[in-house]
Amino acid sequence: MDMNPKRAGFSMVELIMVMLLMGILAGIAAPSLRPEKFQLDAAAVLVASSINAQQLAAVLRQHNVVLAFDTVENRLRVHYDEDNDNTIDTAENWYVIELDDNVRFSLGGATARPLGSTPISVTGAQDSIPALTFRRNGSASEESIIYITSMKSINESSGKDTRSIEIERATGRTRCYSFSSGAWVQTC
Protein backbone atom coordinates (compact mmCIF):
# COMPACT_ATOMS: atom_id res chain seq x y z
CA MET A 1 0.00 0.00 0.00
CA ASP A 2 1.23 3.48 -0.99
CA MET A 3 1.82 5.75 2.02
CA ASN A 4 1.90 8.97 -0.06
CA PRO A 5 -1.42 9.19 -1.86
CA LYS A 6 -1.39 11.50 -4.89
CA ARG A 7 -2.85 14.93 -4.29
CA ALA A 8 -5.70 15.78 -6.59
CA GLY A 9 -5.95 19.53 -5.85
CA PHE A 10 -5.27 22.33 -3.40
CA SER A 11 -6.16 22.40 0.25
CA MET A 12 -8.54 25.01 1.58
CA VAL A 13 -5.69 26.69 3.46
CA GLU A 14 -3.65 27.02 0.24
CA LEU A 15 -6.61 28.53 -1.63
CA ILE A 16 -7.28 31.03 1.16
CA MET A 17 -3.60 32.06 1.23
CA VAL A 18 -3.56 32.64 -2.55
CA MET A 19 -6.76 34.66 -2.39
CA LEU A 20 -5.40 36.71 0.53
CA LEU A 21 -2.20 37.51 -1.40
CA MET A 22 -4.20 38.46 -4.51
CA GLY A 23 -6.35 40.78 -2.40
CA ILE A 24 -3.31 42.49 -0.90
CA LEU A 25 -1.73 42.96 -4.34
CA ALA A 26 -4.99 44.31 -5.78
CA GLY A 27 -5.26 46.75 -2.87
CA ILE A 28 -1.77 48.05 -3.57
CA ALA A 29 -2.24 48.30 -7.35
CA ALA A 30 -5.80 49.68 -7.45
CA PRO A 31 -5.00 53.30 -6.52
CA SER A 32 -2.47 53.56 -9.35
CA LEU A 33 -4.95 52.35 -11.96
CA ARG A 34 -6.83 55.22 -13.55
CA PRO A 35 -9.46 54.00 -16.00
CA GLU A 36 -10.08 57.56 -17.25
CA LYS A 37 -6.50 57.67 -18.57
CA PHE A 38 -7.03 54.48 -20.58
CA GLN A 39 -10.38 55.72 -21.88
CA LEU A 40 -8.82 59.03 -22.88
CA ASP A 41 -5.87 57.35 -24.61
CA ALA A 42 -8.28 55.13 -26.53
CA ALA A 43 -10.38 58.16 -27.53
CA ALA A 44 -7.26 60.06 -28.67
CA VAL A 45 -6.24 57.12 -30.85
CA LEU A 46 -9.80 56.84 -32.17
CA VAL A 47 -10.01 60.54 -33.11
CA ALA A 48 -6.49 60.68 -34.59
CA SER A 49 -6.92 57.47 -36.59
CA SER A 50 -10.35 58.62 -37.81
CA ILE A 51 -8.82 61.88 -39.01
CA ASN A 52 -6.01 60.00 -40.76
CA ALA A 53 -8.43 57.51 -42.32
CA GLN A 54 -10.67 60.26 -43.70
CA GLN A 55 -7.72 62.18 -45.11
CA LEU A 56 -6.72 58.99 -46.97
CA ALA A 57 -10.35 58.39 -48.03
CA ALA A 58 -10.46 61.86 -49.63
CA VAL A 59 -7.37 61.02 -51.69
CA LEU A 60 -8.61 57.56 -52.70
CA ARG A 61 -12.19 58.63 -53.49
CA GLN A 62 -11.08 61.88 -55.16
CA HIS A 63 -13.73 64.00 -53.46
CA ASN A 64 -14.08 65.90 -50.19
CA VAL A 65 -14.57 64.14 -46.89
CA VAL A 66 -16.04 66.29 -44.12
CA LEU A 67 -15.38 65.60 -40.42
CA ALA A 68 -17.87 67.40 -38.17
CA PHE A 69 -17.06 67.60 -34.45
CA ASP A 70 -20.35 67.47 -32.55
CA THR A 71 -19.47 68.70 -29.06
CA VAL A 72 -23.09 68.46 -27.84
CA GLU A 73 -23.60 64.81 -28.81
CA ASN A 74 -19.92 64.00 -28.10
CA ARG A 75 -19.18 62.41 -31.46
CA LEU A 76 -17.57 62.81 -34.87
CA ARG A 77 -19.63 62.78 -38.04
CA VAL A 78 -17.96 61.58 -41.23
CA HIS A 79 -19.51 62.67 -44.53
CA TYR A 80 -18.35 61.53 -47.96
CA ASP A 81 -19.18 64.70 -49.89
CA GLU A 82 -19.20 63.36 -53.45
CA ASP A 83 -20.28 66.64 -55.06
CA ASN A 84 -18.03 68.81 -52.84
CA ASP A 85 -20.89 71.13 -51.81
CA ASN A 86 -20.49 70.71 -47.99
CA THR A 87 -24.10 69.49 -47.74
CA ILE A 88 -25.25 65.99 -46.85
CA ASP A 89 -27.33 64.94 -49.85
CA THR A 90 -29.62 61.90 -49.80
CA ALA A 91 -27.32 59.84 -52.03
CA GLU A 92 -24.17 60.58 -50.02
CA ASN A 93 -22.85 58.31 -47.29
CA TRP A 94 -22.22 59.48 -43.74
CA TYR A 95 -21.84 57.93 -40.30
CA VAL A 96 -20.98 58.89 -36.72
CA ILE A 97 -18.19 57.84 -34.37
CA GLU A 98 -19.20 58.04 -30.70
CA LEU A 99 -16.69 59.00 -28.02
CA ASP A 100 -16.67 57.25 -24.65
CA ASP A 101 -19.09 58.67 -22.06
CA ASN A 102 -16.17 59.73 -19.83
CA VAL A 103 -14.40 61.70 -22.60
CA ARG A 104 -15.34 65.17 -23.88
CA PHE A 105 -14.13 67.71 -26.40
CA SER A 106 -12.55 70.11 -23.91
CA LEU A 107 -9.28 71.65 -22.74
CA GLY A 108 -10.10 70.49 -19.19
CA GLY A 109 -7.87 72.93 -17.32
CA ALA A 110 -4.72 72.31 -19.38
CA THR A 111 -2.80 75.24 -20.83
CA ALA A 112 -3.60 75.89 -24.49
CA ARG A 113 -1.32 74.91 -27.35
CA PRO A 114 -0.29 77.62 -29.87
CA LEU A 115 -3.05 76.73 -32.36
CA GLY A 116 -5.89 77.74 -30.07
CA SER A 117 -7.67 77.48 -26.75
CA THR A 118 -11.14 76.37 -27.85
CA PRO A 119 -11.96 72.63 -27.76
CA ILE A 120 -12.34 72.61 -31.55
CA SER A 121 -10.40 75.35 -33.36
CA VAL A 122 -12.12 74.69 -36.67
CA THR A 123 -13.84 77.75 -38.17
CA GLY A 124 -15.64 75.87 -40.96
CA ALA A 125 -19.03 74.33 -40.26
CA GLN A 126 -21.53 71.83 -41.60
CA ASP A 127 -25.09 72.04 -40.22
CA SER A 128 -23.84 74.53 -37.58
CA ILE A 129 -21.32 71.97 -36.31
CA PRO A 130 -17.56 72.74 -36.49
CA ALA A 131 -16.28 70.83 -39.52
CA LEU A 132 -12.94 70.13 -41.13
CA THR A 133 -12.83 69.18 -44.80
CA PHE A 134 -10.20 66.98 -46.41
CA ARG A 135 -9.74 67.60 -50.10
CA ARG A 136 -8.86 65.05 -52.77
CA ASN A 137 -5.17 66.08 -52.64
CA GLY A 138 -5.06 65.19 -48.91
CA SER A 139 -4.91 68.75 -47.63
CA ALA A 140 -7.20 70.01 -44.88
CA SER A 141 -9.47 73.03 -45.19
CA GLU A 142 -7.58 74.72 -42.34
CA GLU A 143 -4.92 74.18 -39.72
CA SER A 144 -6.70 73.12 -36.56
CA ILE A 145 -6.50 71.60 -33.11
CA ILE A 146 -8.92 69.32 -31.27
CA TYR A 147 -8.72 68.89 -27.48
CA ILE A 148 -10.20 65.91 -25.67
CA THR A 149 -10.16 65.28 -21.95
CA SER A 150 -11.66 63.10 -19.25
CA MET A 151 -14.69 64.08 -17.20
CA LYS A 152 -12.48 63.81 -14.11
CA SER A 153 -10.09 66.40 -15.54
CA ILE A 154 -13.02 68.72 -16.31
CA ASN A 155 -14.43 68.32 -12.78
CA GLU A 156 -11.02 68.90 -11.16
CA SER A 157 -9.84 71.53 -13.71
CA SER A 158 -6.48 69.78 -13.54
CA GLY A 159 -5.82 69.26 -17.23
CA LYS A 160 -3.66 66.23 -16.47
CA ASP A 161 -5.88 64.01 -18.59
CA THR A 162 -5.99 66.13 -21.73
CA ARG A 163 -4.88 65.28 -25.27
CA SER A 164 -4.60 67.46 -28.35
CA ILE A 165 -4.74 66.39 -31.97
CA GLU A 166 -3.32 68.94 -34.38
CA ILE A 167 -3.91 68.89 -38.14
CA GLU A 168 -1.61 70.57 -40.66
CA ARG A 169 -3.47 72.36 -43.41
CA ALA A 170 -1.15 71.69 -46.37
CA THR A 171 -0.58 67.99 -45.78
CA GLY A 172 -3.46 66.90 -43.54
CA ARG A 173 -0.87 65.34 -41.23
CA THR A 174 -1.84 64.85 -37.57
CA ARG A 175 0.27 65.24 -34.44
CA CYS A 176 -0.87 64.19 -30.98
CA TYR A 177 0.14 65.71 -27.64
CA SER A 178 -0.51 64.75 -24.04
CA PHE A 179 -0.63 67.23 -21.14
CA SER A 180 1.60 65.84 -18.40
CA SER A 181 3.19 67.51 -15.36
CA GLY A 182 2.23 70.99 -16.56
CA ALA A 183 3.69 70.61 -20.07
CA TRP A 184 2.66 69.21 -23.46
CA VAL A 185 4.54 66.13 -24.66
CA GLN A 186 4.25 64.74 -28.18
CA THR A 187 2.69 61.26 -28.11
CA CYS A 188 0.20 59.33 -30.15
The structure's pTM equals 0.79
**Cα angle, residue 155 at apex, residues 150 and 158 outer, rounded to 5°:** 75
- DSSP annotation of 74: T
Burial of 82 from C-beta contacts in 10 A (0-12 / 13-18 / 19+): middle
- Measured over the CA atoms of residue 122, residue 187, residue 45 and residue 112, the dihedral's sign is negative
Per-residue pLDDT tens listing for the chain (188 residues): 556 666 667 778 887 888 888 888 777 766 556 677 888 888 999 999 999 999 999 999 999 999 999 999 999 999 999 999 999 999 999 999 999 888 899 988 888 999 888 999 999 999 999 999 999 999 999 999 999 988 877 777 766 788 999 999 999 999 999 987 788 999 86
pLDDT confidence of residue 24: 80
pLDDT score recorded for residue 6:
66
CA distance 75 to 37: 19
Closest CA to 36 of 87, 108, 94, 92: 108
The sign of the CA dihedral 152, 158, 162, 168 is positive
What fold does the segment set 34-186 form as a domain?
minor pseudopilin epsh fold (3.55.40)
Q: What H or E segment, with its residue span, contains residue 151?
A: helix 151-156
Entry field: residues in the chain: 188
Please give the radius of gyration of the chain, using alpha carbons only, rounded to the nearest integer: 24
Amino acid at 42: A
Q: Where are the domains of the chain?
A: 34-186
State the DSSP H helix or E strand holding residue 65, giving kind and residue range, or none if neither: strand 64-70
Q: How many other C-beta atoms are found inside a 10 Å radius of the C-beta of residue 150?
A: 27
- How far is residue 81's CA from residue 85's CA, in Å, rounded to a whole number? 7
86 Cβ contact partners less than 8 Å away, ≥ 6 residues apart? 64, 66, 126, 131, 133
